[in-house]
């Protein structure tokens, strides 16, 4: 009987946990995300600005340490040479932008349905289900489309999401908060299709253009970019939504939602354009 096994793989640099880099990078990200999320609710106190200012030396120190470790043939948490690869740099931007828009969309939709329309959490969840109606079948089709279209499937997904947002704006303009909320479901269904076409293939598509030796580190950074995008998007669109909202009147929720979704559609269109900057597939050798 033949036995097969996967040989152990080791990096070229000296291994070991970079505790200082882990702490400086983690605290640097925390110093950005925490004040953006919590600072608005507390009226932007002085500590929120101090945290944002502190993120600069923390992240600068993190980057400097990673550079020194790489130069001395030790294993950095993130190889800065990754950012010289176009696939990775563009991939970080499109993941950051898309997930910032998607997470904040969920927030403003919940606020519009529950505080504007006065729906219960359960009823608004039923409306949310329209996203899943579009998402699930598109998720099954996304891998095959990714094989056929390559990076263009990401552009297609982002454009479909933007089209869904446009349908939502039209529906909300027609019904404000007094019409039946079922009118927003077609737009949600279309947006769900686009989300599946983008989310499912985005990481494999980006990693396909990254050097194999950097793939593991790149995957970790892309995952971090997704989480940071979620947090930053909620904070940024919260400024738009609550800036338009006037005294909490129900009809104002419709206007705040329209403006917020319009901004998110713009973000998504930018992502669609950035996806075209990803490198194409490597030429086949004969």
Flag whether pLDDT at 281 surpasses 80.
no
Specify if 284 maps to a domain.
Answer: no
- Domain of 197? 83-275
Burial class (CB in 10 A: 0-12, 13-18, 19+), 7: exposed
Q: What's the mean per-residue pLDDT of the chain?
A: 83
The 10s digit of each residue's pLDDT in 214-224 is 777 788 888 88
Among candidate residues 77, 92, 111, the one where a domain is terminated: 77
The label of the residue with tokens 């349908």 reads 167
Asked if 111 and 34 sit in the same domain, the reply is: no
Q: Which two tokens stand for residue 17?
A: 């946990």
Write down the pLDDT at residue 106: 92
Specify if 9 maps to a domain.
Answer: no
Specify if 10 maps to a domain.
Answer: no
Share of the chain above pLDDT 70, in %: 88
Poorest-confidence range of 65-74, 148-157, 160-169, 224-233? 65-74
Average pLDDT value for residue range 96-105 = 91
| Helix residue spans in 150-279 (DSSP H) | 152-175, 185-207, 215-244, 250-275
Specify if 8 maps to a domain.
Answer: no
Average pLDDT value for residue range 181-191 = 91
Asked if 112 and 140 sit in the same domain, the reply is: yes
Q: What is the domain-level CATH number for residue 176?
A: 1.20.1250.20
Among candidate residues 77, 93, 124, the one where a domain is terminated: 77
Poorest-confidence range of 82-96, 124-138, 153-167? 82-96
Write down the pLDDT at residue 16: 60
* C-alpha–C-alpha distance, residues 172 and 257, integer Å: 8
Average pLDDT value for residue range 187-200 = 94
Specify if 217 maps to a domain.
Answer: yes
Can you tell me whether residue 74 is helix, strand or coil?
Answer: strand
Write down the pLDDT at residue 6: 47
If one counts the domains in the chain, the total is 2
Burial class (CB in 10 A: 0-12, 13-18, 19+), 270: middle
Specify if 285 maps to a domain.
Answer: no
Asked if 72 and 88 sit in the same domain, the reply is: no
DSSP code for 181: G
The 10s digit of each residue's pLDDT in 114-124 is 888 888 889 88
Write down the pLDDT at residue 68: 81
Specify if 6 maps to a domain.
Answer: no
Asked if 193 and 163 sit in the same domain, the reply is: yes
């Amino acid at each position: 009987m033949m036995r097969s096994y996967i040989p152990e793989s080791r990096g070229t640099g000296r291994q070991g946990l970079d505790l200082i880099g882990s702490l400086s990078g983690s605290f640097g990200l925390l110093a950005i995300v925490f004040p953006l999320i919590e600072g608005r609710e507390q009226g932007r106190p002085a500590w929120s600005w101090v945290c944002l200012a502190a993120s600069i030396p923390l992240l600068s120190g993190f980057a400097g340490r990673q550079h020194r470790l790489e130069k001395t043939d030790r294993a950095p948490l993130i190889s800065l040479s990754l950012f010289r690869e176009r696939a990775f740099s563009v991939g970080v931007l499109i993941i950051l932008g898309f997930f910032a828009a998607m997470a904040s969309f969920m927030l403003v939709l919940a606020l519009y349905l529950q505080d504007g329309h006065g729906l219960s959490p359960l009823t608004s969840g039923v409306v949310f289900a329209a996203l899943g109606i579009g998402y699930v079948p598109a998720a099954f089709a996304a891998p095959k489309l990714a094989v056929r279209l390559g990076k263009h499937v990401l552009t297609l997904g982002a454009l479909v999401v933007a089209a869904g947002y446009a349908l939502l704006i039209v529906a909300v303009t027609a019904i404000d908060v007094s019409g039946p909320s079922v009118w927003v479901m077609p737009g949600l269904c279309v947006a769900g299709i686009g989300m599946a076409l983008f989310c499912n293939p985005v990481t494999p598509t980006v990693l396909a253009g990254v050097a194999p030796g950097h793939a593991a580190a790149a995957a970790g950074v892309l995952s971090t970019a997704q989480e940071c995008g979620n947090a930053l998007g909620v904070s940024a669109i919260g400024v738009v939504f609550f800036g338009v909202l006037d005294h909490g009147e129900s009809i104002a929720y419709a206007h705040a939602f329209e403006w917020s979704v319009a901004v998110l559609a713009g973000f998504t269109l930018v992502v669609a354009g950035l996806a075209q900057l990803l490198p194409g597939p490597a030429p086949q050798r004969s």
